[in-house]
Amino acid sequence: MKKNNSTPWAYRKGASPLHRMPAGFKLAFLLLLSLAAFIPGPEIRSLILLSCIVFMLIILSMIAGIYPWELLRGSLPLFFIILAVFLFQGIEFFPLGIKPDGLMEAVIFCIRIGAAFAAGSLFFFVTTPGEIRKSLSRAETFLHLRRFNVSVSLSLMLGFLPRFFVIWEDTNLTWDSRAGKKNFSRLVVIIPLVLERMMTHAAETAEAMEARQINYNLKS
């Protein structure tokens, strides 16, 4: 695999049927797939539904020419937090013991989060920001909502998701290049830096959009 393909939620060039599919359809389908992962119900039914969703994501990733396990790249810190919270809920302190129901709930919730994360990852692997913007713009025109600039807001919001992982990977590479240790102090240093860069990126994007709007008004 190429090095630039290691970034989570980053577009990967391809000519698969999934790449050529309209962005709006992919967005709607994968969004529904993510929501379906959180449908409440008995544990057995939830496990069956989640198994079907995971199987579907595996098939779709293979169609797109992506290894299924790559859909979870970048999710490890999220799973550590989830597991820590639910393991804490699954432990009885007086008397000391483990609540099986709490642990099963943790497993199911982790699969739900993993399925939603994988669906989002697959979407951005096979869809460019330009395709997202064009698809949302067509939907905005069809629904007569152009004056609200919904497509611009949604495309910017969706664009920030993969951008976060680009900044996260870049900051981690910088930490590694300076011989930084892989311990808790790494997160203490990196997280504020990533948040700062994200806020800077948001401010620069806002300035660019404001300048574009001013130029548009002058031309009008």
- pLDDT for 209: 61
Q: How many CB atoms lie within 10 A of CB 59?
A: 11
Helix (H) or strand (E) holding 173, with range, is: helix 150-177
- Both tokens of 2, joined, read 């190429």
Instruction: Please tell me the chain's helix, strand, coil percentages from 3-state DSSP, rounded to the nearest 5.
Output: 75, 5, 20
pLDDT at 90: 67
Where do the domains of the chain lie? Answer: 1-127, 146-220
| Residue 78 contacts residue 110 (beta carbons within 8 Å) | no
Which contacts of 208-214 are long-range, i.e. CB under 8 A and separated by 24 or more positions?
A: 209/152, 209/156
Lowest mean pLDDT among 34-48, 51-65, 89-103, 119-133: 89-103
Residue 98, classed as helix, strand or coil, is strand
CA distance 84 to 165: 23
Q: Tell me what pLDDT residue 78 has.
A: 73
Q: What is the pLDDT of residue 2?
A: 40
Direct distance between the N- and C-terminal alpha carbons of the chain, in angstroms, rounded to an integer? 48
Quote the tokens at residue 158.
């969706």
User: With 50 as the cut, is the pLDDT of residue 114 above it?
Assistant: yes
Is 80 exceeded by the pLDDT of residue 22?
A: yes
